[in-house]
Structure formats: structure tokens, C-alpha cells
């Protein structure tokens, strides 16, 4: 078969490109022809799949320390991954974060840098943030905002969370305790009122405005268009066109759960495969019980053990290839629902 290999990253072990390369190599050993298309959902890893960084700027990190943030500028189009400037990993994870003080200033500085260097389109990808500042830090770093009227500002959202729900849904993952979550909730509510009064934008009505702790909503006040991250990446990389040239598709990620089918890579690839009438399968690091009911799934943990799946995910993906071909060959095309799909 000619197989499209289109995984997300395996968080903590492999980038999307590394995962695609390892699985594709195993499939070629089995005699299949492969097309590799590493994907992302608008969150961490999106910069890499859209061409990778070719510039670095020193900006203010989430807690004010200077960080070297890689980003991309090519043909007057910029790609900025907010996690590279305002990400949780930059402060050492939730246990070292100050979730109330964490700011998106650095992301705003990158956006300003892109404008000053001649960008006419700026794509900001969200996900992996340390922040719940509603984008206020970024807006202050981007001032004066009217200069962005000449720029197409696009925000790729990896979640659909409303602005006012960002604190409850994500702040605990960033180190916030109950009292801090309540403070952040009240702060976002006050910001929403201020944004409506100062910019004429009702961020509470925008789908995905709560992404990256409300950064998406804040950037909407600078004229940004909020779009689904996976859909944007899939369009720019030509996923539908690639599906028209193959017999089957394999996707994957580090951990499969119900959220994998809500704006994420696995769910997006499955939907695209259904439209194309192609069989689809996911190879994942591990999975939540019941989450694989949507499509056939190979779990590295179940096949090779947790230790091997974590320490040598690439090797496990390569060795999983013999399981993929027969599963795809026996699968009902994704465009024809049946029991278990």
C-alpha cells in the first residue's frame, strides 16, 4: 500500500517529524510506500511542522527572565509559537511557575519584532503556555495597536475554550491552587469588560478565546482572526491533496484520550480520511481505555511495555510497523461507519 504517515508529536519523547520518520521507515521495511506529513494542532510543535525556526529573538520570559525565542520569517510571513516565549517549560513546569504573575509579554515582543522586520502576515500558534493573563502582557508589548491594521494577524487555537473558562480549565495545570484560580477567574472577567470598553471586542463570544490562558482573546483585540489550529496546519500542508494520492493513512500521538478527537491531530486526520473514504489507524504511545473506539489503534505501551515506549519510542514505532499493514488492509474505509468506528 501507499500510506500517508501523519502523526502529531509524542510529547516528551518524539517530535512529529521524528515519529513520522520512525514509523515510515518501519512501513517501508514491510514493503509499503510511504508519504510523511508530520502534523500539529496549532499548539506546541506547530512551528516545526510549518518549516521550523530561522530566527531567534531575546524576549521577556513568562516570569520576566530573558529567553532566546526561535521563530520563523519567510516571504514576509511570520510563524510565532507562543510556547517558545511564554511557555510553561521555560519556567521548569508547574511546580516552578507563578501562575498569577506569568505574562505573555514575550509573545507580544515577538509579534512586534515580526512587524518591524516587514511581516505582512503573522501566525501565532498557541498551546503549552505558563500564562493566564488574558493576553494583556502581549497587548502592552505590541503597543500601539493601530499599527497592526496593515498586518494579517492569525491565531491558531489548539482548544475551543471560552475566555472566561480559561482559568478553571487550565490554570491548575500551570501550578495554580484554588484561591489563585478564583483570582485569575475574576481577573479574566474584568479584562473582558475592559477589552469590550477599550477595543469594542466581546472576547466572551469568541470560540477559542480562552486558548493559552486567554491570549487568543487578547490578540483578537489587536484585530487577530482566531482559527482552528489543526485545520490551518492541514490546509497549509495540503492534507486533503495528499490523501487523494494514497491508499490509507496512519496518524498517532503520545496519549490517546477523548480530547484527541476534539480539534486535535488524530481526530482531524480521522475526519479527513473519512471524507476521502480511506482506512485510518492510529499508533499511540498509550491510550485511555475506551478512547480507541473511534478507529483501530496500536498502543506502544501494550505492545512493548511502558519502559520501552518511553525510553525508545522511535524504535517501538519502527517495530510496530508489521502490525499496521494488516490492520489497515482489514479495516473498513473510514468513510463507511461500522461498529467500532
Q: What is the pLDDT of residues 125-163, one digit of tens each?
A: 998 999 999 999 999 999 999 999 999 999 999 888 999
Indicate if the pLDDT at residue 330 is higher than 80: no
Q: How many domains does the chain have?
A: 2
Using only C-alpha atoms, the chain has a radius of gyration, in whole angstroms, of: 20
Query: Of 213, 230, 247, which marks where a domain is finished?
Result: 230
More confident residue, 292 or 16: 16
Convert the pLDDT of each residue in 225-249 to its tens digit.
999 999 999 999 999 999 999 999 9
Return all residues near 324 (Cβ < 8 A) that are at least 6 apart. Answer: 3, 23, 26, 27, 30, 250, 281, 283, 298
CATH code where residue 301 lies:
3.40.50.10350
CA dist 267 to 17, 60, 97, 101, 296, Å?
18, 35, 31, 34, 13
Domain that holds residue 199: 46-230
Residue-level pLDDT at 333 = 61
pLDDT, mean over the chain = 93
DSSP secondary structure of 28-94: HHTT-EEEE-----SSTTHHHHTT---EEEEEE-TTS-EEEEEEEEETTEEEEETHHHHBGGGGTSG
Cell for 72?
A: 520563523
* Same domain for 182 and 59: yes
pTM: 0.89
Residue-level pLDDT at 259 = 86
* Same domain for 71 and 26: no
Residue-level pLDDT at 337 = 41
Convert the pLDDT of each residue in 82-112 to its tens digit.
999 999 999 999 999 999 999 999 999 999 9
* Same domain for 314 and 187: no
* Same domain for 257 and 121: no
Query: Of 186, 205, 230, which marks where a domain is finished?
Result: 230
Provide the 8-state DSSP code for 332: P
The kind and range of the H/E element at 178 are helix 178-199
* Same domain for 222 and 205: yes
Quote the percentage of the chain above a pLDDT of 90: 87
Residue-level pLDDT at 334 = 53
The answer to the question of residue 200 being in a domain is: yes
The answer to the question of residue 339 being in a domain is: no
Convert the pLDDT of each residue in 50-64 to its tens digit.
999 999 999 999 999
* Same domain for 57 and 121: yes
Query: Of 214, 230, 246, which marks where a domain is finished?
Result: 230
* Same domain for 189 and 82: yes
* Same domain for 288 and 160: no
Amino acid at each position: 500500500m501507499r500510506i500517508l504517515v501523519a502523526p502529531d508529536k509524542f510529547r516528551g519523547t518524539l517530535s512529529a517529524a521524528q515519529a513520522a520518520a520512525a514509523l515510515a521507515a518501519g512501513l517501508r521495511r514491510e514493503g509499503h510506500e510511504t508519504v510523511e506529513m508530520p502534523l500539529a494542532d496549532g499548539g506546541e510543535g506547530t512551528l516545526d511542522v510549518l518549516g521550523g525556526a530561522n530566527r531567534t529573538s531575546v524576549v521577556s520570559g513568562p516570569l520576566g527572565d530573558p529567553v532566546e525565542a526561535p521563530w520563523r520569517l519567510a516571504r514576509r510571513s511570520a510563524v510565532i509559537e507562543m510556547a517558545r516565549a511564554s511557555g510553561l517549560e521555560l519556567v521548569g513546569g508547574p511546580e516552578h511557575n507563578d501562575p498569577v504573575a506569568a505574562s505573555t509579554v514575550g509573545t507580544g515582543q515577538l509579534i512586534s519584532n515580526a512587524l518591524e522586520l516587514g511581516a505582512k502576515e503573522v501566525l501565532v500558534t498557541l498551546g503549552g503556555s505558563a500564562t493566564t493573563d488574558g493576553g494583556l502582557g502581549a497587548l502592552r508589548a505590541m503597543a500601539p495597536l493601530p499599527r497592526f491594521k496593515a498586518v494579517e494577524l492569525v491565531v491558531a487555537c489548539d482548544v475551543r475554550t471560552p475566555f472566561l473558562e480559561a482559568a478553571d480549565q487550565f490554570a491548575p495545570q500551570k501550578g495554580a491552587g484554588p484561591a489563585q484560580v478564583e483570582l485569575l477567574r475574576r481577573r479574566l472577567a474584568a479584562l473582558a469588560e475592559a477589552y469590550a470598553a477599550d477595543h469594542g471586542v466581546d472576547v466572551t463570544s469568541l470560540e477559542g478565546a480562552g486558548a493559552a490562558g486567554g491570549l487568543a482573546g487578547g490578540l483578537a483585540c489587536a484585530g487577530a482572526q482566531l482559527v482552528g489550529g489543526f485545520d490551518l496546519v492541514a490546509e497549509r500542508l495540503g492534507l486533503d491533496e495528499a490523501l487523494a494520492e494514497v491508499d490509507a493513512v496512519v496518524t498517532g500521538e503520545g496519549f490517546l484520550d477523548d480530547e484527541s478527537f476534539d480539534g486535535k491531530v488524530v481526530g482531524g486526520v480521522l475526519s479527513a480520511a473519512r471524507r476521502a473514504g480511506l482506512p485510518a489507524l492510529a499508533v499511540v504511545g498509550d491510550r485511555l481505555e475506551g478512547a480507541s473506539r473511534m478507529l483501530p489503534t496500536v498502543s506502544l505501551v501494550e505492545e512493548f511495555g511502558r519502559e520501552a515506549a518511553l525510553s525508545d519510542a522511535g524504535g517501538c514505532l519502527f517495530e510496530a510497523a508489521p502490525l499496521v499493514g494488516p490492520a489497515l488492509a482489514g479495516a473498513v474505509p473510514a468513510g463507511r461507519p461500522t461498529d467500532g468506528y
